[in-house]
Structure 1
Amino acid sequence: MEENTTQTKQTHKTIPVKGMYEDWFLDYASYVILERAVPHLNDGLKPVQRRILHSMKELDDGRYNKVANIVGNTMKYHPHGDASIADALVGLGQKELLIDCQGNWGNILTGDSAAASRYIEARLSKFALDVVFNPQTTKWRPSYDGRNKEPETLPIKFPLLLAQGVEGIAVGLACKILPHNFVELIESSIKILRNEPFEIFPDFLTGGSIDVSKYNQGLRGGKVRVRAKISVQDKRTLVISEIPFATTTGKLIDSIIKANEKGKIKIKKIDDNTALNVEIIIQLPNDTSIDQTIDALYAFTDCEVSISPNSCVIEKDKPNFLTVNEILESSTQNTVDLLQLELEIELNELKERWQWISLEKIFIENEIYEKIKPCTTDQEIDDTIIEGLKPFIKNLMREPNIEDIHKLRKIPIDRISKFNSDKANDILLAIEDDIKQVNYDLEHIIDYAIAYFERILKKYGQGKERKTEIRSFDTIEAQAVAVANEKLYCNYKDGFAGFRMKNDEYVCDCSDIDDVIAFRSDGTVVVKKVQEKDFFGTDII
């Protein structure tokens, strides 16, 4: 009995709550930051986005695939369920860069959601196929269950993170990188390679205008102001044709109606005719100033929004806060490194091809195959071929290895009988020219990278010009544009003033955001926000 008690005591382990919190919570926080919410610096993708693209490449045959099929295939790599994959896939598709969409994928202007995944289809865009994938330069790791391989990061030769933008909330950490213009990013990458100064600023598919004076290169503490595009159709009609980023026509109209109900602006009617393009028509009353109404729309509604970026990425398995300029510089260098690696792989492949054709030519022209006829064992055959090649090794790029010997042994007799030396010489000369070109490109890798960016720009840059106009906004004083929707009254005897004191003396019209300045007989001044009824002192002049 005593032994059992001792054994029971030994099997119990006390874990302090503090230790549990430190270990388990930090593990969870690290997982969310690294594996879910924050993009990687190298390819600009969150894990779910990377797995979706890898899965789409796996399924790619040039035709559209049902999104439901893509989601199901991606679940081999992503352990967080089909809903998260489908939402991320729709988000990628709505950015109009990597995915070619077919069907109802929702509307970023109206906020309408996409159709169910069984009804819509997708395939990789030509741009994605050109710049995102290369199995030879991809580092692989096992998937979450060990059954498959997935890329650590994709070898993307383009500043995708800045082109698409990203937003994510982790544990104790948030990320918000605004999208930038496709053309300007490539032009800035070329400037980086030429050691020229550059600037990049956000650009949105929804258009509008933006004030970037406080952008702070996308770091915490910075902000941008984004406005809708409002034009005057006639003296009683305004038309909103572009909306700020991160809002929708529905939210914008709700904010206008709310401001009208509060008396901050005056509108007669509002219609939403948005389809492919935004068209919100605002009818104004006869006694309303057009210019004052436009200013009031910017001051009191979502026609102007302020966005605070927070540029955070995963770098060397840790979250790091970098400016958008630093992100672009890192992306440009990563592209150069990937291009160099591709050239080195191509060079090695060319050398191996030259080596094999030369070996085959020597083997057939010098009839080394005839010397192996008397041989009775595999070792004798190998030794005979090696001995026959010895006089020609100095003309090869490297010494033949055992794999080369076994490959020579497998040359069919039909190939030997039809061998054409002149054709083989022509092929060797062509390969030598290719080797010279690749060596030249490696020696001039910066020029090669610039030419690559210029090719991408020429091939895919059409139609990707800036949509959001960069402007400097004037500060609109809300009090100056607010509609005088209230009347100010004052009870001089008791010292009260406000806009719900209709039995007292009328002072003037005012808005509900105005300040009231009261002068008292002792020479002091009291300034307060206008209220329904407020005390200013019994000695108001």
Structure 2
Amino acid sequence: IEARLSKFANEVLFNADTTVWQASYDGRNKEPITLPVKFPLLLAQGAEGIAVGLATKILPHNFIELLDASIAVLQGVRPNLLPDFYTGGLADCAAYNEGQRGGKVRVRARISERDKKTLVITEIPFSTTSGGLIDSIINANEKGKIKIKKIEDNTTWDPEIIIHLAPGISPDVTIDALYAFTDCEVSISPNTCVIQDDKPRFMSVNDMLTESTHTTKDLLKQELEIKLKELMEKIFFSSLLKIFIQEGMYKHPDYESSSTFELVVEVLNRLFEPFFSQFYREILPEDYKRLIDKPMSSITRFDFKKTDEQIKNLNEEIKQVKHHLKHLTEYTIAWFEKLKDKYGKDRGRKTELRTFDRVEAAQVALANVKLYVNR
């Protein structure tokens, strides 16, 4: 399966330098074992699946709340995540139990009263569909649990289910009855189970977020260390090339008369010996190979002033990277803040959190049984 990554995915999901690779099935290419994700993606999207003796049901959570909670973790505060569903609706998460087994979330459709004879459903419970919801309402009507005149489905991109009430029926009582007898209210039982170190592990969503946050911090550290090494290598080779040209080593008689690469390395080692202390690492034969592969045109047109300016800028970048490494927690917090500023627009909470009163079915069921007196 191939897919084009979005800008967000490119930023948080993939980095070729920190990805652990393995050979593909035919050995011709490489493929990632896992992706170095710098965001709690599993908690954002949710997941559901079953296996032999195992099952998992991770509910989705809000993008901004996940970033804020990750920042809180880095500040030493334990998070308190609650689910947020893309379908909106209302949710009672009092018994969420941090997403662990035994927890429960009650989710309701958003039902409003258009007038005394009409109800409108504009948001449906997570895990339901508008078609399934309508079927459950029709079924409850046929069983006499509710009394409606007709129902219309005007759903397009957003749900819009219009319920026309029968004459003399109270809208408030009907709303309670819809929650009691139809899929306008559903109960979801989370069961957070993940694979960690090749083993299944049951854990809370708050612990998952904590581990994800520390993983992000470690990945950012790896990226900074890689960047630091790259910057130092750039300075290393720029300085090497500058000395090579400045000291006229490329036209030294011993260098020009060297007939083999081994002799070239020997001569250059001798010529560079007074400058060894200026380099952060040992000069390897591969470095000399890069030098001698430089075309003569680039050597004769070498700009010393421009190179000095580049080295100065590289040193400034190195200083900044070392500062980030020294203050890694603050750097990681800034990373999460940047993600929120860059991608957090229009990603506010969609599901309204409430505490539901228990709807007693006996109190909202319609009196649909006729009693007769035998006189």
Equivalent of 1:148, from 3, 22, 29?
29
Deviations 1:157-182 (A, max 9, x none): 10000000001111111110000000
**In the aligned structure 1, how far is the partner of 2:92 from the partner of 2:155?**
25
Q: Which residue of 1 aligns with 2:60?
A: 179
Q: Which residue of 1 aligns with 2:250?
A: 369
Q: Which residue of 2 aligns with 1:433?
A: 316
**In the aligned structure 1, how far is the partner of 2:119 from the partner of 2:226?**
60
CA shift for structure 1 position 505? 4.1
Give the secondary structure class of the aligned counterpart of 1:434.
helix
**In the aligned structure 1, how far is the partner of 2:263 from the partner of 2:58?**
67
Does structure 1 residue 272 correspond to structure 2 residue 141? no
Give the secondary structure class of the aligned counterpart of 1:225.
strand
- The one-letter code sitting in structure 2 at the alignment partner of 1:270 is I
- The one-letter code sitting in structure 1 at the alignment partner of 2:276 is I
Q: Kindly report which structure 2 residues correspond to 1:36-435, keeping only aligned pairs within 5 A, or say none.
A: 52=1, 55-56=2-3, 123-371=4-252, 372-435=255-318
- When normalised by structure 2's length, the TM-score is 0.97
**In the aligned structure 2, how far is the partner of 1:148 from the partner of 1:486?**
72
CA shift for structure 1 position 374? 2.7
Give the secondary structure class of the aligned counterpart of 1:450.
helix
Give the secondary structure class of the aligned counterpart of 2:216.
helix
- Asked if structure 2 preserves the Cα contact closer than 8 Å seen for 1:169 and 1:175, the reply is yes
Deviations 1:30-50 (A, max 9, x none): xxxxxxxxxxxxxxxxxxxxx
Q: Which residue of 2 aligns with 1:520?
A: none
Q: How big is the alpha-carbon RMSD for the aligned residues of Structure 1 and Structure 2?
A: 1.3
**In the aligned structure 1, how far is the partner of 2:329 from the partner of 2:54?**
37
Give the secondary structure class of the aligned counterpart of 1:473.
coil
Q: 1:379 to 1:124 in 2, by over 3 A?
A: closer
More displaced stretch, 193-202 vs 347-356 = 193-202
Gaps of 5+ in 2: none
Deviations 1:2-50 (A, max 9, x none): xxxxxxxxxxxxxxxxxxxxxxxxxxxxxxxxxxxxxxxxxxxxxxxxx
- Asked if structure 1 preserves the Cα contact closer than 8 Å seen for 2:49 and 2:55, the reply is yes
**In the aligned structure 1, how far is the partner of 2:374 from the partner of 2:184?**
38
- Asked if structure 2 preserves the Cα contact closer than 8 Å seen for 1:229 and 1:241, the reply is yes
- The one-letter code sitting in structure 1 at the alignment partner of 2:20 is K
- The one-letter code sitting in structure 2 at the alignment partner of 1:384 is V
Give the secondary structure class of the aligned counterpart of 2:366.
coil
**In the aligned structure 2, how far is the partner of 1:424 from the partner of 1:149?**
37
Q: Which residue of 1 aligns with 2:332?
A: 449
CA shift for structure 1 position 148? 3.2
**In the aligned structure 2, how far is the partner of 1:181 from the partner of 1:191?**
15
Equivalent of 2:347, from 438, 453, 464?
464
**Percent identity of equivalent pairs:** 55
**In the aligned structure 2, how far is the partner of 1:179 from the partner of 1:365?**
62
Give the secondary structure class of the aligned counterpart of 1:403.
helix
Q: Which residue of 2 aligns with 1:523?
A: none
Give the secondary structure class of the aligned counterpart of 2:137.
helix
Deviations 1:194-252 (A, max 9, x none): 11243111111110000000000011110100000000001111010100001011000
- Asked if structure 2 preserves the Cα contact closer than 8 Å seen for 1:386 and 1:405, the reply is no
- Asked if structure 2 preserves the Cα contact closer than 8 Å seen for 1:227 and 1:305, the reply is yes
CA shift for structure 1 position 345? 0.4
Q: Which residue of 1 aligns with 2:359?
A: 476
- When normalised by structure 1's length, the TM-score is 0.68
Deviations 1:119-158 (A, max 9, x none): xxxx422111111110110001233444432211101110
- Asked if structure 2 preserves the Cα contact closer than 8 Å seen for 1:270 and 1:283, the reply is yes
Q: Which residue of 2 aligns with 1:24?
A: none
Q: 1:233 to 1:388 in 2, by over 3 A?
A: same
**In the aligned structure 2, how far is the partner of 1:282 from the partner of 1:179?**
29
Gaps of 5+ in 1: 1-51, 57-122, 489-501, 507-541
**In the aligned structure 2, how far is the partner of 1:204 from the partner of 1:249?**
15
- Asked if structure 2 preserves the Cα contact closer than 8 Å seen for 1:163 and 1:180, the reply is yes
**In the aligned structure 1, how far is the partner of 2:261 from the partner of 2:236?**
23
**In the aligned structure 2, how far is the partner of 1:365 from the partner of 1:306?**
76
- The one-letter code sitting in structure 1 at the alignment partner of 2:291 is L
Give the secondary structure class of the aligned counterpart of 2:114.
strand
- The one-letter code sitting in structure 2 at the alignment partner of 1:208 is G
Runs of 4+ aligned structure 1 residues displaced above 4 Å come to: none
- Asked if structure 2 preserves the Cα contact closer than 8 Å seen for 1:208 and 1:468, the reply is yes
CA shift for structure 1 position 444? 0.5
- Asked if structure 2 preserves the Cα contact closer than 8 Å seen for 1:206 and 1:245, the reply is yes
CA shift for structure 1 position 272? 0.5
- The one-letter code sitting in structure 1 at the alignment partner of 2:315 is E
- The one-letter code sitting in structure 1 at the alignment partner of 2:141 is N
- Asked if structure 1 preserves the Cα contact closer than 8 Å seen for 2:105 and 2:189, the reply is yes
Deviations 1:71-107 (A, max 9, x none): xxxxxxxxxxxxxxxxxxxxxxxxxxxxxxxxxxxxx
Give the secondary structure class of the aligned counterpart of 1:137.
coil
- Asked if structure 2 preserves the Cα contact closer than 8 Å seen for 1:189 and 1:328, the reply is yes
CA shift for structure 1 position 255? 0.3
